[in-house]
Structure 1
Amino acid sequence: MTAGIRFALWGEDEDHEDEQLWALCEDAENLFADPPEPVRRRYELRGFTAEGEIPAALGFLVVQPLHEDGAPTREWYLEHARVLTTRARGASRQDVTVEAVRSDHQPPHPAGSAAAVGFSLSDRQDRLLGHFQDLAEVPHAEEPPPHMVRLLGCEVRGPLLDVLEGREDRPLGYRYLDALDASGGLLSRAGHPHVVDRQPSARGPGLYDLTVRMDPQPPVVAGIWSLWREGRPAVPNLWAPFDSTGRELWLDPALAHREGPDRPAGGTYHLDGRHVTDAEGFFCALGEAVNGPGGYFGRCMNGVADALCGGFGAKLPFTLVWHDHEVARRSLGLQPLVGRPATFDELLAFLAGEGVEVVLA
């Protein structure tokens, strides 16, 4: 790949089946910025029947339309959800109003809602919270203005070039932007841009500067990417100085660099617990315990459960020696008004339930 290329823009072919490389770009302008405050929306879950007691702070929610023929449907996610009001509807149902943030890159409503005979509601751990008959969004304030990024010095190709130069007039399929490392390999996913304008680039003949609409990357990401620019880190705990947001974002390039076969079952892995002061730190430390510096082994408990099924570096059963575990015991716990992260004891119970023997050291 051409030296100096830092971003690759990908899209779908005309049949929406295969990915195509649409552009290689030398740089990006205005990519890093503090994101706007997420829009907290209000939704009514009408005709709700609970499977048990519903906490006021719901956290992460999974909404899934239910079809009469049992056909599978796509999940739809809400984050940082909390119950605002409940109103009785008949003897056994309620109308529940929740306030939440709609997860990124989702439609305004669950796909297949029009044909749904109802909906299921689950939490992050796939625990069924209940069922409801209909979903409605309460009208909300105006959306924040879109964020614009300029991709500079782009060598454009394929359908995107045909559209930009007027040879075709058609909507373009799904697209995403990759940040590239110094060798031209994938560093991390960078976002989902929508091209809105282009100009000839001063960086060379035949190149374009593309204006795209996309969410910005938090400023901390620039520092994270600099640590991955020359490839996967060779020393552990480079994530430790970051706050919980930075630690969570550290796992994006870690996932992109996942490689290698599983090691045989029965192994022993050592988790450095000195910096496990939050849930994000646990997942960073667990990834490095199993797969070395920059390693990945899930970014939430569901992700760890998936990793334990194989393909992420280790096979069950195995032993995890958790050094300096008292740091996590003191630090992990409740957070007000949001879905709480797992406590230390809950993490231990989860790992044991998945077949991991944990030794506290």
Structure 2
Amino acid sequence: MQVTDHTRWEQPFPVRFLIVGERDDEDATGVDLLLGRCAAVEGLFADPPPPPREVLVLRGCTPGVTAGWLGSAMIRGRSDAGREHWWELLDAEVLVVGPYSADPALVNLVVSAAIGKVEDFRFAQDPCESFELVSSQDEPLTTCVLVAGLLKSRPGCTSLPVRLIGFEPTEPLRAQLDSGSQRWPAYTELWALDDTGRVMARVPTGLSIDGTSPSVLRGGLLDVDLSVSPGRLPGSAAREVWRQWQPGPPQQPGSWRGLSVAAKEEWQSLALNRRDPEPDRSGGEYHLAGAGVEDETGLHCALGEAINGPGGYYGRESTGFEDCLGGGFGAVPPFTLVWHDFAATERELAEETDLPAGRSYPEFLARAMEYRKVRVVRA
């Protein structure tokens, strides 16, 4: 499907989004199928609601924890067979430290928190014999006999509402809508277009339609209500990144600096999406601006920019970076990378060092490149 064939229509406003499905008939599996186009989307940058707060009672704890805010933490349980189960605590606070009636040497902790991720697989077959409260730095804070209120089902947010505004369905989709059929393509994406008509992002929204109505934009268009899994939406962190990319791929280096980690991750997604296939090239010299990268995600934004220009992609983490060195993303070894302000990069990422022998993440990447025949000049 040629996107440029569908970016213009007889409306007084531009096409901003395409709905594209994957044909599932035997002769066209994997072929893109245009289902419609629209002027705007509401709810695209919504975040799932936070989980509700709960009160847990950690009974029979070793003393040492005082009342006060903990922040992010985790409860980790261990079974007799050595299996571990864990529960993530968000914005946790110890409300009260009280006596444990069964043993005066131990205490009870009343903890308020929202429960985030849970890994309690096969708990019923292999229950925990003891529990441990652990800090966000994986530092054990206390052990306890049991945790009242912990073991229960917690339904998550299953879907969020998204509305397509000013939607023009293609004839195949309109026929299905008119017939009431729900046989949508198994895999459907929302393609966001930038001002040049280029596909800026692909969001796997699916096509679970809750209802349709005449559009507020009129012109024979529809407004279509969808239910979308929260994990498929870009979320609020992506809004500023999309705004920067809306005129087209960025032209100024370092436009990602100062963004949050989540926003820089979205920057990487847009950079990967806009990448055009190009032949591998070896040799040459590239310059990495190493000051002000702030975190590992920023460092990979800087690497992509150094090798493929503003808005360039060359891996979003160490594994992806090594994949890029293998070809298909422009530069392949041997080449030279001049890493300016290498010491500043190490200082900024010092807290993220968690590698063998205490080696910094920048040094880890530099040595990985050197192993792959890239000459790294630490400037």
Q: TM-score, normalised by structure 2?
A: 0.66
Is residue 213 of structure 2 the alignment partner of residue 213 of structure 1? Answer: no
Looking at structure 2, the residues matched to 221 and 341 of structure 1 have their Cα atoms a distance apart, in angstroms, of 32
The one of 211, 218, 224 equivalent to 1:197 is: 211
Looking at structure 1, the residues matched to 339 and 306 of structure 2 have their Cα atoms a distance apart, in angstroms, of 9
SS at match of 1:199: strand
| CA gap 1:98/1:295 in 2 versus in 1, 3 angstroms | same
Q: How high is the sequence identity, in percent, across the aligned residues? A: 33
Looking at structure 2, the residues matched to 6 and 177 of structure 1 have their Cα atoms a distance apart, in angstroms, of 10
Looking at structure 2, the residues matched to 82 and 174 of structure 1 have their Cα atoms a distance apart, in angstroms, of 36
Q: Structure 1: any 5+ residue segments left out of the alignment?
A: 40-79, 103-108, 110-137
Looking at structure 1, the residues matched to 190 and 359 of structure 2 have their Cα atoms a distance apart, in angstroms, of 30
Looking at structure 1, the residues matched to 181 and 343 of structure 2 have their Cα atoms a distance apart, in angstroms, of 62
Output one character per residue of 1:85-106: Cα deviation in whole Å (capped at 9) or x when no partner: 34353xxxx423245788xxxx
- One-letter code aligned to 2:191: D
* Residues 7, 24 of structure 1: 8 Å contact kept: yes
| CA displacement at 1:353 relative to structure 2 | 3.0
Output one character per residue of 1:135-162: Cα deviation in whole Å (capped at 9) or x when no partner: xxx8631212521111100111154323
Looking at structure 2, the residues matched to 182 and 171 of structure 1 have their Cα atoms a distance apart, in angstroms, of 29
Q: Higher Cα Rg: structure 1 or 2?
A: 2
The one of 218, 231, 236 equivalent to 2:248 is: 231
User: Partner of 1:106 in structure 2?
Assistant: none
- One-letter code aligned to 1:351: M
* Residues 48, 157 of structure 2: 8 Å contact kept: no
| CA gap 1:284/1:209 in 2 versus in 1, 3 angstroms | same
Structure with more relative contact order (C-alpha pairs < 8 Å, separation 6 or more): 1
Is residue 101 of structure 2 the alignment partner of residue 87 of structure 1? Answer: no
* Residues 332, 341 of structure 1: 8 Å contact kept: no
SS at match of 1:224: helix
Is residue 9 of structure 2 the alignment partner of residue 21 of structure 1? Answer: no
| CA displacement at 1:331 relative to structure 2 | 1.7
| CA gap 1:356/1:233 in 2 versus in 1, 3 angstroms | same
* Residues 304, 313 of structure 2: 8 Å contact kept: yes
Output one character per residue of 1:187-222: Cα deviation in whole Å (capped at 9) or x when no partner: 112342433221121323432111112234333322
Looking at structure 1, the residues matched to 268 and 315 of structure 2 have their Cα atoms a distance apart, in angstroms, of 8
Q: Structure 2: any 5+ residue segments left out of the alignment?
A: 1-6, 53-71, 89-115, 122-150
Is residue 187 of structure 2 the alignment partner of residue 174 of structure 1? Answer: yes
Count residues in correspondence: 282
User: Partner of 2:375 in structure 1?
Assistant: 357
For structure 1, which segment, 226-235 or 256-265, has the greater mean C-alpha deviation from structure 2 after superposition?
256-265
| CA gap 1:175/1:4 in 2 versus in 1, 3 angstroms | same
* Residues 22, 159 of structure 1: 8 Å contact kept: yes
Looking at structure 2, the residues matched to 142 and 250 of structure 1 have their Cα atoms a distance apart, in angstroms, of 31
| CA displacement at 1:166 relative to structure 2 | 1.1
Looking at structure 1, the residues matched to 223 and 78 of structure 2 have their Cα atoms a distance apart, in angstroms, of 51
Match runs of 1:1-361 below 5 Å: 1-2=7-8, 4-15=14-25, 16-37=29-50, 84-89=76-81, 94-99=82-87, 140-144=153-157, 146-157=159-170, 159-166=172-179, 168-193=181-206, 194-214=208-228, 215=230, 216-262=233-279, 264-334=281-351, 343-361=361-379
* Residues 293, 345 of structure 2: 8 Å contact kept: yes
Looking at structure 2, the residues matched to 195 and 95 of structure 1 have their Cα atoms a distance apart, in angstroms, of 42
- One-letter code aligned to 1:296: Y
* Residues 257, 298 of structure 2: 8 Å contact kept: yes
| CA gap 1:341/1:240 in 2 versus in 1, 3 angstroms | farther
* Residues 248, 280 of structure 1: 8 Å contact kept: yes
Q: TM-score, normalised by structure 1?
A: 0.69
| CA displacement at 1:35 relative to structure 2 | 3.7
| CA gap 1:332/1:155 in 2 versus in 1, 3 angstroms | same
- One-letter code aligned to 1:84: R
CA RMSD of aligned residues (A): 3.2
